[in-house]
Amino acid sequence: MAKYLMLQGVASNVGKSVLAAGLCRLFRQDGLKVAPFKAWNMALNSYMTPTGEIGRSQGIQAEAAGILPTADMNPLLIKPTGEGKSQVVVQGRVRGALSLGEPFAQRAMPIVQESLERLSREYELIIMEGAGSPVEINLRHRDVANMGVALLVQAPVLLVADIDRGGALAALVGTMSLLRPQERDLVGGFILNKFRGDAGILQPALEILEKRGKRPVLGVVPYRHDLLIDQEDSLGLEKTSQGPRTIEIGVFCLPYMSNYTDFTSLAKEEGVAVHYLGRKEDLGGFDALIIPDTENLDGDLNYLEDQDYPRQIARLVQDGMPLIGMGRGFVMLGQNYLGLLPVNVKGCSLGQAGITRARVAAKEGWLGRICGSQVKGYLAHGAKTESVMPAFELAGGPEGIQIGSILGTSLHGLFENGLLRRTFIDYLRERKNLPPLTMPILEGGELRQAAYDLLAEQLRESLDMSAVLELVERGGRR
């Protein structure tokens, strides 16, 4: 049976997902057969596995571990679709819109236990990730995401805080004080994440933290902005990706935006900056615009209209600016909504989301430059329209539209395809009289592999790995 190590945070977005990916790669480098696990994930970013849909972070962590992701790595995925409403994905399969109250919580733990037991039979080490905070007082009686699952297998816990946000030391001490005695016994140490500054100035605070929190600080991890590993939720999105700004791409940061990791690979291309657009921004300075997928079509259409974005978009597209709509962002482009395409586009149910392959069918625009090439992607939200100038061909027929400077598609993960991504960037460069890029074309997964190695190296330098390994061997016993 497997051994366990769990990362829990004092709040959301403290960096647990990225740290877990780094530890998966580190232990893989050390020869262990390691797998990620997150019992309960509330996120709008998904990752397609051969056995179904899971949270994006667990898919990324499996990549870092060098293994094929499965639905057992995130047995419960909750996707908010509006006020008080959510879609529930159980062990990779959509179960529809369910209430997340007491009855669901009572059914959740057997599902979690079943998936965790399957993984434990196959792997030597399970890197587990919590969700939010383990001491949400109104929720902890039905917790399956944090201490509930840690207690189930007596997993040692590393408690993580984001020191860049402020209040990290108080949050660690406060969390320890609110944990029940049997939960507190599982905590083996603290990690301060995203530190920038003079480590010497921090040292006295660490000594106070260890005294008040009664646990050792097992690492202070420096802040890095150059890894560009997919974030779990939109709290982790920076408004502008780092790097030079030869090409600027604007992505509308919709309130219910989903699958926004579609654009991470774009930000890794030389000279490309991806901006996540907030409220009432001037769109005139961008080289291309993207309307992403959403879990709430009507609500996010209202958001765009409230910001007066449709008027700006229509004017810029008329002047030739490239515009891409993905998933329900494609539906928005139709004549029945924003009116940017000359046909109606209707959303449709796909049943279960899944990985697919397609052939580029477009004969015009930037996509037409690679007509006939094969691409890989996945479908989450379907859209149907008249078969006018299809962008792609799937086994089931035409998909999407490419008309002039507008591309609409239900396919996600397109920019993971190196040739398609480079064709798009070189087209934008050509529009600015810039030469094409000459660096090697890599697939999205290849781009991430180097980041996983860098992250593992950083964790080796930042964490007391001998103490971490001792925790793993000892388990949750103090």
Mean pLDDT of 443-467: 90
Please list the residues that pair with 251 across neighbouring strands.
276, 290
Token pair of 96 as six digits: 């529809």
Q: What is the pLDDT of residue 199?
A: 77
Cα 446–Cα 452–Cα 454 angle in degrees, nearest 5 = 115
Q: What is the pLDDT of residue 387?
A: 66
Q: What is the pLDDT of residue 81?
A: 73
Q: What is the pLDDT of residue 235?
A: 47
Domain boundary assignment for the chain: 3-228+448-472, 247-433
Query: How far is the C-alpha of 379 from the C-alpha of 363, rounded, in Å?
Result: 22
Cβ(358)–Cβ(399) below 8 Å = yes
100 pLDDT higher than 80:
no
Query: How far is the C-alpha of 460 from the C-alpha of 454, rounded, in Å?
Result: 10
276 pLDDT higher than 70:
yes
Confidence tier at 477 by pLDDT (50, 70, 90): low
Cα 372–Cα 348–Cα 79 angle in degrees, nearest 5 = 105
421 pLDDT higher than 80:
yes
Q: Coil, helix or strand for 273? A: strand
Alpha-carbon torsion angle 37, 63, 13, 379, nearest 10: -90
Mean pLDDT of 228-236: 56
Same fold, 3-228+448-472 and 247-433: yes
CATH number of 247-433: 3.40.50.880
Query: How far is the C-alpha of 405 from the C-alpha of 401, rounded, in Å?
Result: 11
Of the candidates 313, 329, 324, 285, the one whose C-alpha atom is nearest the C-alpha of residue 423 is: 324
Q: Coil, helix or strand for 97? A: strand
Confidence tier at 364 by pLDDT (50, 70, 90): confident
CATH number of 3-228+448-472: 3.40.50.300
pLDDT-above-70 percentage for the chain: 90
Q: Which residue has the higher pLDDT, 259 or 103?
A: 259
